[in-house]
Amino acid sequence: MRRLVLALAATAILTATSISLVAAAPLPASYLNANFGPPNASGIAFYRSSGTIKLESPTASVSAKASGFEVDFSASAQNDPNETSAGFSSYDVGTVNAGPGSMNGLSVAPRTLLLSGSAHFAMNLWFDSDHDGEYFVWDHNQFAGLGGDVYAIGPSDTGSVTIDQTTPLFLIPNCTIGVNVTTLAVINAGGCTSIPPNTNVARWVGIDIPGGTDGSGSARL
């Protein structure tokens, strides 16, 4: 999820089974995720599943599944007008704006990674700013709104990805009014009014393809 996105197409298949896995970091995956299709009523389109995801259309496809301690995901788009991505999210990987124990960074290294065209491997952060124990608002596992939370678009690369204290993060809706770009150092110093003290963090990792472009990718973590 570079942006939060997904809408259920008529040809899509979304099934739920239990998962038990750890990422290469290693951190457990809480949900599999995908961006797919036109925006829903929230203005974006994003799915989560505790098991397998498979979504297909004539111009895009995504899949994600877990097996033991591995997670596999892939995404492909052929000039589809919407963002397409596949990946997973790990909840409560750290706490920010929490004094000396604040999370200072995260890294992820895929076991295998294949990318072509506009596809890229990326990591975002989600912040439970309303402290309700949930990240965002969901309607039957479809994204329905931020719900007082914040997410940060992080770095992308063709291999390992790291967020440290100085990595630029683009926050949505913002860090402070009129300011979207910040860092973990600023957040941990209390510099973002949208992220209060002792806020838990989730991590999203995936392959993303911008809307209107051609690309494909697959990864195993």
Contact indicator for 62, 106 with CB cutoff of 8 Å: no
17 pLDDT higher than 50? no
26 pLDDT higher than 70? no
- How would residue 5 be classed by pLDDT, with cut points 50, 70 and 90? very low
Helices (H), the chain: 184-188
How high is the pLDDT of residue 1? 52
| Mean local confidence (pLDDT), 176-181 | 95
Report CA Rg, the chain: 16
The pLDDT tens digits of the residues spanning 110-120 come to 999 999 999 99
Q: What value, to the nearest 5°, has the Cα angle with vertex 2 and ends 78 and 32?
A: 90
Q: Long-range CB contacts (< 8 A, 24+ apart) of 45-48?
A: 45/5, 45/6, 45/7, 45/82, 45/142, 45/143, 46/1, 46/3, 46/4, 46/5, 46/6, 46/142, 46/143, 47/6, 47/8, 47/14, 47/141, 47/142, 47/143, 48/89, 48/138, 48/141, 48/143
Instruction: Return the structure tokens found at 14.
Output: 């979304």
Amino acid at 6: L
Selected residue with higher pLDDT from 26 and 72: 72
| Mean local confidence (pLDDT), 181-210 | 97
How high is the pLDDT of residue 6? 34
- How would residue 68 be classed by pLDDT, with cut points 50, 70 and 90? low
The structural domains of the chain, with segments of one domain joined by +, span 13-215
How high is the pLDDT of residue 70? 85
Amino acid at 31: Y
| Mean local confidence (pLDDT), 80-98 | 96
Q: What is the mean pLDDT of the chain?
A: 88
Contact indicator for 17, 52 with CB cutoff of 8 Å: yes
How high is the pLDDT of residue 51? 84
Q: What pTM, to 2 d.p., does this model score?
A: 0.87
162 pLDDT higher than 60? yes
How high is the pLDDT of residue 43? 85
